[in-house]
């Protein structure tokens, strides 16, 4: 049954509720959302993880993921009621009149088929074009989205194309039937800042050219400011507020929105510079490293880390920054060069390092989900390194674990026996920090530890690390692609590109103009909360 | 392409090594069997002289490793020695039986593989429905019953009670091809029933495993029907485990059919092996074992190569 009722809106939602199935039965994910979208308009949806943004985006296509269901309310697409529509009716719309652009293009393209075949699938499925016409159209869209070699790139397989290009190819695929409505689900979250700019401007141009309405889902305010005409803020399945972009940026009304806007104001106060002639705690000397002989990942990298300081290693994916961490910890012995601690060489392979040397360098990982064993309770995760390195037993060990839990601001009484699956993302990352601290290390290597977290949570982690640094005189090496994090926490910055150090120095030296041209490119590519930022930047760059 | 050729050559090398080790195991395992070969073959009535003469004739008095290398160099050129019972070359005895077994295996595979994969796709599509559950129960039942039991059930219903097919699959040289197919239908059907379940369930599992992938959701968001999602988007990425289990079942069809051959009195290599063991005809036992080992290794190799070729990343390097 479909209710025909044309209005000025291409999409209307009224009191939409979607439930998700969990251990406790059906729980609401969306709790009564109202939404109006005019033809050709872009609505930004913003919120933290768990806010229900993706569920809302999928619901706009009449799609509910496995384990979720429409509970009540309506989704009306151009007069067609999607909550009542049959699967066949919805299939006729999907891809043809409503199209979807997913977060990870690498995972959302089928690895077994060429890009252009996947592109042409929807037009052929919906009998809108012949194969030749669809291919010709694909090449035209590739050109409009400024993909290199538009005539040839479609005939490659997904793994042969870079992430930023895949994301644009996916946008082209979504445009293949010239839909009335596009759903963008965090399309640039997985990309480097420099690549993000190309994708954002390509997306913005193409929806303008074809006057396509769009819902743009993201957790990044600065990004949504560039893309959307209006912004809607979600929190735990409810709308907090909605307003035109400029109003929303200038004068958010609700407390929650203000807190989102205020994030990233955190700045660690600068520390006194190391004394003249002070020995560096850890230093790298002319490191060359590779995973196989022909493919050099790290090329002649040297820098020093002083006690009590935070060194940020910044670069895009593939710049070799994580490899540096593997070299320091001895997981990957370098081809050339050496690693020194207090000016004495450390054995290059971790197996040749003494337990004491292993204790001194600890790591925290990006994905707390995969770095913590889900079956082991928190007390063992933290207790194990404390026992291994310090030989603590029984009550002493328990005391130490409780002390560590207090250090990371989790109540020992509540969290001592929990398992990682019973913790939130930010809490898991805190356990990762406690595990590193349990060894009582001299330096902690933090590998992209905030990039999988929401901004508010990430800020909490940065504040915690900063506090620990002051209290314990801890030293950090911070590996990140996020310049906002660098601004917040770094004392020294090492900028890397293609395995080489492009620039290094104190934060003031690196961040104050004049910049090295690559640093300038990185800095200027970080989106700002100004709706005109992208247009101005593109104008400047010509 | 260079990478793939190298990978295949490497696997082939490992396969040959394995076969060599297996040949050592087979030869010396037979050596270790209790009792004197000559006495057993000649029977209790044999005199000491005839036994000694027999030992000399087949070279039992020479050191085992010398005989091993003679046997191995013969086997490489296809000469497996002479049957102790009939004095005929082992190669001749095996050739006919092996071709019969290969025929039956092919017959069963040609039916079982497409049926298994098609059913696997179908139950993956209709997962958690009544059809899925019933198919599950039926295939589990057929996989858990011993094949001789399945064979006798088939004989009762398709032969004794209805007379559709002959209960015994004896072959003669001048049969027409359709007649051959009819005669061997029941053993082939037995093999189909015991192998289909395994392959079908793996196909179902391999497909369902991939349904949570983002590219499957993407395909559904493009309005692709459920059937096409499975066939076009899931199956091409599910080949590796399916190929592996198909290869394992093919190996079973060649090496594991002894019971079925015995029930239907089918002159295959399994029967030959059983006869040879009871008569202590060791050259034939050794040759059969070596052929079985080679079959397993070859089919596993084929599965590995198939899995590699089904991976677009390896087929189309950057």
Express each pLDDT in B130-185 by its tens digit.
999 998 888 888 888 888 888 899 898 988 888 888 888 777 777 788 888 888 89
Note the pLDDT of residue B279. Answer: 82
A-chain residues within 8 Å CB-CB of B223?
90-96, 122, 125-126
How far B1 CA lies from chain A's nearest CA (Å)?
A: 15
The residue of chain B nearest to residue A185, with distances taken between CA atoms, is B218
Check: CB of residue A34 under 8 Å from CB of residue A155: no
Angle, CA of A164, A176 and A204, to the nearest 5°: 50
Asked if A110 and B236 come within 8 Å (Cβ–Cβ), the reply is yes
Beta-carbon count within 10 A of B48 CB: 8
Interface of A with B in 154-213 (CB under 8 A): 156-157, 159-160, 173
Contact B223 A90 (CB under 8 A): yes
Burial class for A248, CB neighbours closer than 10 Å (0-12, 13-18, 19+): buried
User: Do A252 and A224 contact (CB within 8 A), yes or no?
Assistant: no
Q: Is A51 helix (H, G, I), strand (E, B) or coil?
A: coil
Separation between Cα atoms, residue A415 and residue A382, nearest integer Å: 12
In terms of Cα–Cα distance, which of A154, A141, A148, A301 is closest to A209? A141
With CB atoms and an 8 Å threshold, state whether B223 touches A65: no
- Residue A138 CA to residue A68 CA, distance in Å, equals 34
Do B221 and A94 make contact, defined as CB atoms within 8 angstroms?
yes
Q: State phi, psi for B125 to the nearest 5 degrees.
A: -65, -40
**Chain A residues close to B316, C-beta within 8 Å:** 156-157, 159-160
d(CA B29, CA A203): 70
Q: Residue holding tokens 């992938």? A: B213
User: Do the Cβ atoms of A21 and A66 come closer than 8 Å?
Assistant: no
Shortest CA distance from B239: residue in chain A: A112
Of A107, A111, A126, the CB nearest to B223: A126
CA angle B124, B195, B176 (to 5 degrees): 120
Contacts of B232 in chain A (CB under 8 A): 113, 121
Angle among Cα B121, B200, A117 to the nearest 5 degrees reads: 35
Query: Could you give the angle at the alpha carbon of A117 between the alpha carbons of A114 and A120, nearest 5°?
Result: 150
- The whole-angstrom separation of Cα A138 and Cα B290 is 56
Assigned token pair, A245:
């972009």
How many angstroms away from the CA of B125 is the closest CA of chain A?
14
Domain boundaries, chain B: 2-76, 99-315
Chain A residue nearest residue B211, CA to CA? A66
For A354-365, the DSSP string reads -HHHHHHEEEE-
Nearest to A159 among B218, B237, B313 (CB): B313
Mean pLDDT of B261-280: 87
Quick check: helix, strand or coil at residue B260?
helix
Four-residue CA torsion sign, A140, A63, A37, A236: negative
A102 vs B214, B223, B233: nearest CB: B214
Q: Pick from A65, A94, A110: which is nearest to B233 by CB?
A: A110
Which among B139, B253, B271 is positioned nearest to B202, based on CA atoms? B139
B58: pLDDT strictly greater than 90? no
Contact between chains at B214 and A125 (C-beta distance less than 8 A):
no
CB atoms A95 and B224 under 8 Å? yes
Is the Cα torsion angle B14, B17, B23, B26 positive or negative in sign? negative
Between chains, do B318 and A160 touch, taking CB under 8 Å as contact? yes
Nearest Cα of chain A lies from the Cα of B215 at a distance, in angstroms, of 4
A122 and B225 within 8 Å at the Cβ level: the answer is no
Local confidence pLDDT in tens for the 542 residues of chain A: 444 445 678 898 999 999 888 777 888 888 989 999 998 899 999 988 778 888 899 999 989 888 888 888 999 888 888 888 888 888 998 988 999 998 888 889 999 999 999 999 999 988 888 989 999 999 988 988 888 888 888 999 988 888 888 888 998 999 898 899 999 998 887 778 888 888 888 888 888 888 889 999 988 888 888 889 999 999 988 898 999 988 888 888 888 888 877 766 677 777 777 777 788 899 999 999 988 777 788 889 999 999 999 999 998 887 888 899 999 999 999 999 999 999 899 999 999 999 999 999 999 988 888 889 988 999 999 999 999 998 888 899 999 999 999 998 888 888 888 888 888 888 899 999 999 999 999 999 999 888 878 878 888 889 899 999 999 899 999 998 888 888 888 999 999 998 899 999 888 888 887 888 888 888 888 888 888 888 888 888 87
Q: Could you give phi then psi for residue A77, rounded to 5 degrees?
A: -105, 110
What pLDDT sits at residue A3?
A: 45
Q: Whole-angstrom Cα distance, residue B26 to residue B287?
A: 9
More confident residue, B224 or B58: B224
Closest Cα of chain B to A155: distance in Å?
11
CA separation for the pair B257, B105 (Å, rounded):
9
Q: Are B218 and A63 in contact (CB < 8 Å)?
A: no
Classified as helix, coil or strand, A113 is coil
Partner residues linked to A265 by β-bridges: none
| Predicted ipTM of the assembly | 0.77
Q: What pLDDT, on the 0 to 100 scale, is given for residue B200? A: 92
Cα dihedral sign, B112-B118-B124-B128:
negative
Q: Which of A122, A120, A155, A113 is nearest to A134 (CA)?
A: A120
Q: Which two tokens stand for residue B15?
A: 């396969």
Per-residue model confidence (pLDDT) at position B318? 66
User: What's the gap in Å between the CA of A210 and the closest CA on chain B?
Assistant: 19
Query: Is B236's CB within 8 Å of A113's CB?
Result: yes
- For CA atoms B197, B201, B204, B207, give the dihedral sign: negative
**CA nearest neighbour of B111 among B190, B209, B165, B8:** B190
CA distances from A429 to A365, A420, A458, A484, B272 (A): 8, 10, 9, 19, 65
H-state helical runs in A45-161:
53-59, 87-93, 105-108, 115-125, 131-144, 150-153
Cβ-Cβ contacts under 8 Å between A and B: the total is: 78
Contact A378, A417 (CB under 8 A): yes
Which one-letter DSSP state was computed for residue B233? Answer: I
| Chain B interface includes A107 (CB < 8 A) | yes
Q: Please give the structure tokens belonging to residue A396.
A: 């002493």
Does the beta-carbon distance from A160 to B316 stay under 8 Å?
yes
- Closest to B201 (Cα-Cα) out of B145, B128, B119, B141: B119
Taking CB atoms and an 8 Å cutoff, what residues of chain A touch B224?
A: 91, 95, 121, 125
> Could you tell me which residues of chain B have a Cβ less than 8 Å from any Cβ in chain A?
213-215, 217-225, 228, 232-233, 236-237, 312-313, 316, 318
B265: left (phi over 0), alpha (psi -120 to 50) or beta: left
Q: What is the pLDDT of residue B315?
A: 77
Contact (CB<8Å) A157/B313: yes
Say yes or no: A93 contacts chain B, CB-CB below 8 A.
yes
Interchain CB distance below 8 Å, B213 and A93: no
pLDDT attached to residue A4:
47
Cis check for the bond before A514: say yes or no (omega within 30 of 0): yes
Encoded tokens for A392? 């603590």
Tell me the CA distances in angstroms from B294 to A16, B16, B287, B289, one per residue in order: 63, 9, 10, 9
Alpha helices in A242-375 (DSSP H): 245-250, 255-262, 321-329, 355-360, 368-371
The reported pLDDT for the residue numbered A436 is 93
> Maximum distance among all alpha carbons in chain A?
80
Contact B218 A102 (CB under 8 A): yes
Domains of chain A: 287-511 (3.40.50.300)
- Strand stretches in A39-153, DSSP E: 42-46, 68-77, 80-81, 98-101
The answer, for A242 touching chain B at a CB cutoff of 8 Å, is: no
The DSSP 8-state label assigned to residue A500 in this structure reads E
Give B99-315's CATH code, choosing from 1.10.3720.10, 3.10.105.10, 3.40.50.300, 1.10.510.10.
1.10.3720.10
Q: Tell which wins on pLDDT, A531 or B107.
A: B107
Q: Does A111 touch chain B (CB under 8 A)?
A: yes
What CA–CA distances, in Å, run from B122 to B116, B126, B135, B203, B247? Answer: 10, 6, 10, 10, 21
A95 contacts on B by Cβ (under 8 Å)? 221-224
Is the pLDDT confidence value at B306 over 90?
A: no
Provide the pairing of β-strand A213-218 with A310-314: unpaired
Q: Which residues in chain B have Cβ-Cβ distances shorter than 8 Å to A159?
A: 312-313, 316, 318
Q: Assign residue A286 a region: left if phi > 0, alpha if psi is -120 to 50, beta otherwise? A: left
């Amino acid at each position: 049954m479909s209710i025909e009722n044309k209005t000025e809106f291409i999409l209307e939602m009224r009191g939409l509720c979607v439930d998700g199935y969990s251990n406790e039965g059906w729980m609401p994910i969306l709790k009564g959302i109202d939404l109006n979208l005019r033809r050709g308009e872009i609505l930004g949806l913003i919120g933290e993880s768990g806010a229900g943004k993706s569920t809302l985006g999928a619901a706009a296509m009449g799609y509910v993921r496995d384990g979720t269901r429409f509970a009540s309310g309506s989704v009306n697409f151009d007069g067609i009621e999607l909550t009542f529509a049959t699967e066949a009716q919805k299939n006729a719309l999907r891809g043809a009149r409503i199209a979807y652009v997913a977060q990870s293009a690498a995972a959302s393209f089928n690895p077994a088929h060429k890009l252009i075949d996947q592109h042409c699938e929807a037009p052929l499925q919906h009998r809108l074009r012949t194969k030749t016409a669809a291919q010709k159209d694909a090449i035209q869209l590739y050109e409009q989205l400024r993909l290199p070699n538009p005539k040839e790139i479609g005939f490659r397989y997904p793994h042969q194309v870079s992430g930023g290009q895949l994301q644009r190819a996916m946008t082209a695929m979504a445009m293949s039937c010239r839909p009335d409505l596009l759903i963008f689900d965090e399309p640039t979250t997985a990309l480097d800042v420099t690549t993000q700019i190309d994708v954002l401007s390509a997306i913005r141009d193409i929806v303008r050219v074809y006057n396509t309405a769009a819902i743009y889902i993201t957790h990044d305010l600065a990004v949504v400011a560039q893309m959307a005409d209006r912004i809607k803020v979600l929190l735990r399945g409810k709308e907090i507020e909605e307003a035109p972009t400029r109003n929303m940026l200038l004068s958010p009304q609700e407390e929650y929105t203000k807190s989102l806007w205020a994030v990233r104001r955190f700045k660690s106060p600068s520390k006194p510079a190391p004394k003249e002639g002070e020995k560096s705690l850890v230093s790298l000397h002319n490191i060359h490293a590779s995973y196989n002989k022909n493919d050099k990942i790290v090329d002649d990298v040297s820098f020093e880390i002083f006690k009590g300081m935070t060194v940020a290693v910044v670069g895009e994916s593939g710049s070799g920054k994580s490899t540096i961490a593997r070299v320091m910890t001895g997981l990957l012995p370098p081809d050339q060069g050496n690693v020194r601690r207090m000016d004495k060489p450390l054995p290059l392979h971790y197996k040749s390092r003494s337990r004491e040397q292993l204790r001194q360098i600890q790591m925290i990982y990006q994905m707390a989900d995969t770095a913590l064993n889900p079956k082991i309770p928190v007390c063992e995760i933290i207790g194990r390194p404390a026992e291994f390195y310090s030989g603590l037993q029984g009550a002493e060990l328990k005391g130490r674990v409780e002390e560590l839990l207090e250090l990371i601001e989790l109540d020992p009484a509540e969290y001592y026996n929990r398992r990682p699956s019973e913790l939130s993302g930010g809490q898991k990352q805190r356990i990762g920090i406690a595990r590193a601290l349990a060894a009582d290390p001299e330096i902690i290597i933090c590998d992209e530890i905030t990039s999988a977290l929401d901004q508010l949570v990430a800020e909490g982690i940065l504040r915690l690390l900063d506090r620990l640094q002051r209290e314990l005189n801890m030293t950090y090496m911070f590996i990140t692609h996020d310049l906002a994090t660098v601004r917040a926490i770094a004392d020294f910055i090492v900028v890397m590109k293609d395995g080489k150090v492009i620039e290094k120095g104190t934060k003031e030296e690196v961040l104050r103009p004049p910049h090295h041209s690559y640093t300038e490119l990185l800095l200027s590519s970080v989106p700002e909360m100004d709706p005109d930022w992208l247009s101005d930047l593109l104008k400047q760059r010509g | 392409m260079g990478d793939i050729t190298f990978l295949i050559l490497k696997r082939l090398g490992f396969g040959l090594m394995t076969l060599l080790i297996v040949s050592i195991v087979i030869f010396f395992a037979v050596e270790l069997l209790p009792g004197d070969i000559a006495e057993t073959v000649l029977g209790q009535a044999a005199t000491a002289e005839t036994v000694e003469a027999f030992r000399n004739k087949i070279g039992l008095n020479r050191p085992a490793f010398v005989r091993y290398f003679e046997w191995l160099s013969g086997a490489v050129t296809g000469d497996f020695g002479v049957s102790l019972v009939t004095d005929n070359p082992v190669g001749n005895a095996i050739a006919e039986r092996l071709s019969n077994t290969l025929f039956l295996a092919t017959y069963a595979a040609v039916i079982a593989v497409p049926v298994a994969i098609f059913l696997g796709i179908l139950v993956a599509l209709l997962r958690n429905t009544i059809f899925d559950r019933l198919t599950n129960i039926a295939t589990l039942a057929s996989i858990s019953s011993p094949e001789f039991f399945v064979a006798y059930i088939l004989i009762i219903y398709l032969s004794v009670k209805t007379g559709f097919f002959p209960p015994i699959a004896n072959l003669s040289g001048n049969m027409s091809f359709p007649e051959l197919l009819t005669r061997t239908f029941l053993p082939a059907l037995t093999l189909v029933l015991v192998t289909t379940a395994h392959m079908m369930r793996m196909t179902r599992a391999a497909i369902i495993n991939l349904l949570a992938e983002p590219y499957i959701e993407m395909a559904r968001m493009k309005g692709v029907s459920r059937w096409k999602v499975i066939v076009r988007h899931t199956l091409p990425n599910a080949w590796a485990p399916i190929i592996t289990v198909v290869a394992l079942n093919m190996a079973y069809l060649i090496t594991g059919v002894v019971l079925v051959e015995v029930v239907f009195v089918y002159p295959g290599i399994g029967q030959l092996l059983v006869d040879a063991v009871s008569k202590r005809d060791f050259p034939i036992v050794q040759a059969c074992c070596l052929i079985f080992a080679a079959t397993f290794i070859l089919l596993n190799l084929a599965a590995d190569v198939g899995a590699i070729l089904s991976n677009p990343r390896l087929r189309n390097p950057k």
